[in-house]
């Protein structure tokens, strides 16, 4: 079920009503309602894959239960391996089987060896990359003795399948979300209002920004060999805001929806295109995934211990694996590896943590130096996004090479309406950069606030062109 669908517009108020007016006096009943609603929400896409979600949840529940019961190092390690092998096995088969088979066939063919293998018609289950990572973090944290296990089976299933963030995150940790499943929730009118504002802003970013950019992105990338450089730059620019509007919009809707039910999810995007270097960008982009790879991959490899060369190795491996997490294509691996290379100069000069605050925090405009840093970081990100969007490595290299042809200074022929909408988005988010999301405008007069709410809502309705899937559903 899509957040931008008519079905969800009917589903959400119904679940909200039952949650607060029917099951509100019993925590277990509330959790069971959320569990049923979450499975219905996921099963609306394809009910057959509910079994994978259930299997992953059950194995990690019992692995966690026995991890808390035993102190024997070997038994604890075997329980952790059971959890990791189950989740990574499911993920590996459904997401990467054909990739590995095809890559092996290609590699052997280049060596003059023909393999008689064939790909399988495997359907990628929506959200499998997200819920497997979420439930794995539970058993890893238990193994590291950072949290305690839960005996409440319904609450644990609810934690894994919580429908607002089930399909595309944020990837929540058990330390944050599970305790919220275990304690009584009380309706908070202020949080609910804030949640509705964030939902509207998320829909704006998805429908008005991402979906409007998407048509031009598809047109330009599909015809990149015949396009002039100015159009190619515009196509890459549009894709940068398509994926930002699409994914951060989903996160806003998820966080806002969770607030309606008394839950607080972690912030997943913090205005990443205002970053002054790549390290800051990755502290602001897809925060739940970036911190997941930092805590469970980078630190497991040794983190910053062991000297500069091991530090460099760990950074490159972490970024490359994070790229591969996004999809079974060499373009994603190249994208992750390139971002790792971007990170190295900051690492070697020990400047990876120099920008941790808000840009131009006490000023309206950034300084010229800050503006240069923001533009440079955005351009680096823009080039990397081309690998993310391209069909294959050759397409990405051809696209990047064509960016610098003699047609660079010709007026683009592509539609400029998305450009004006992106400029509007950037201006609004710059003005609201100290807030969690742009529609947190409590400090404005009542009339001005409601004019803004209605204006954004009308834009969402005006640009709505039917339910269109979210980019990260394919990951």
Q: Catalytic residue positions?
A: 326
Contact of 269 with 240, CB cutoff 8 Å: no
Q: Which of 88, 98, 87 is nearest to 123 (CA)?
A: 98
First CA to last CA distance, the chain: 16
Q: Tell me the C-alpha distance between 316 and 297, whole Å.
A: 11
Q: Tell me the C-alpha distance between 244 and 274, whole Å.
A: 12
Phi and psi, residue 122, nearest 5°? -95, 125
- Helices assigned H by DSSP within 183-228: 189-203, 211-222
- DSSP string over 125-162: -TTHHHHHHHHHHHHHHHHTTSS-----HHHHHHHHH-
Q: Which of 458, 437, 468, 419 is nearest to 206 (CA)?
A: 468
Q: Tell me the C-alpha distance between 468 and 16, whole Å.
A: 24
Sign of the torsion formed by the C-alpha atoms of 179, 184, 187 and 190: negative
Contact of 419 with 217, CB cutoff 8 Å: no
Cα separation values, 378 from 148, 353, 383, 438, 453, Å: 41, 18, 9, 20, 29
Q: Compute the CA torsion angle 466, 471, 472, 475 (nearest 10 deg).
A: 120
């Amino acid at each position: 079920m899509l957040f931008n669908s008519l079905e969800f517009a009917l589903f959400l108020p119904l679940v909200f009503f039952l949650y607060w007016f029917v099951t509100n006096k019993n925590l277990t009943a509330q959790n069971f309602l959320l569990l049923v609603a979450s499975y219905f929400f996921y099963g609306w896409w394809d009910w057959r894959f509910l079994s994978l979600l259930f299997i992953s949840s059950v194995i990690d529940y019992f692995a966690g239960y026995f991890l808390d019961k035993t102190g024997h190092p070997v038994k604890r390690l075997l329980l952790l391996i059971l959890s990791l092998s189950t989740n990574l096995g499911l993920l590996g088969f459904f997401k990467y089987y054909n990739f590995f088979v095809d890559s092996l066939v290609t590699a052997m063919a280049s060596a003059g060896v023909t393999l008689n293998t064939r790909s399988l018609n495997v359907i990628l289950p929506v959200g499998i990359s997200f819920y497997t990572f979420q439930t794995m973090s539970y058993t890893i944290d238990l193994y590291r003795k950072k949290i305690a296990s839960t005996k409440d089976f319904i609450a644990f299933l609810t934690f894994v399948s919580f429908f607002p963030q089930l399909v595309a995150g944020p990837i929540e940790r058990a330390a944050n979300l599970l305790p919220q499943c275990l304690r009584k929730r009380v309706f908070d009118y202020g949080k609910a209002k804030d949640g509705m504002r964030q939902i509207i802003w998320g829909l704006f970013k998805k429908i008005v920004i991402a979906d409007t950019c998407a048509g031009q992105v598809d047109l330009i990338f599909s015809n990149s060999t015949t396009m002039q450089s100015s159009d190619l730059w515009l196509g890459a620019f549009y894709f940068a805001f398509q994926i930002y509007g699409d994914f951060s919009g989903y996160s806003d809707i998820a966080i806002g929806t969770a607030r309606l039910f008394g839950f607080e999810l972690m912030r997943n995007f913090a205005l990443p295109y205002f970053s002054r270097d790549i390290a800051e960008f990755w502290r602001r982009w897809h925060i739940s995934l970036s911190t997941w790879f930092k805590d469970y991959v980078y630190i497991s490899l040794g983190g910053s211990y062991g000297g500069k060369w091991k530090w460099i190795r760990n950074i490159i491996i972490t970024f490359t694996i994070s790229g591969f997490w996004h999809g079974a294509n060499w373009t994603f691996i190249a994208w992750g590896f390139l971002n790792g290379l971007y990170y190295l100069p900051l690492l070697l000069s020990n400047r990876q943590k120099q920008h941790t605050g808000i840009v131009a925090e006490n000023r309206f405009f950034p300084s010229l130096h800050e503006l240069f840093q923001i533009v440079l970081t955005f351009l680096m990100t823009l080039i990397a996004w081309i690998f993310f969007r391209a069909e294959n490595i050759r397409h990405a290299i051809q696209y990047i090479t064509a960016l610098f042809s003699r047609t660079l200074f010709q007026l683009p022929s592509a539609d400029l309406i998305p450009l004006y909408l992106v400029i509007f988005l950037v201006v609004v988010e710059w003005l609201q950069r100290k807030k969690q999301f742009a529609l947190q405008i409590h400090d404005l007069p009542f009339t001005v606030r409601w004019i803004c709410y209605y204006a954004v809502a009308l834009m969402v309705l005006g640009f709505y062109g039917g339910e269109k899937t979210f980019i990260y559903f394919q990951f």
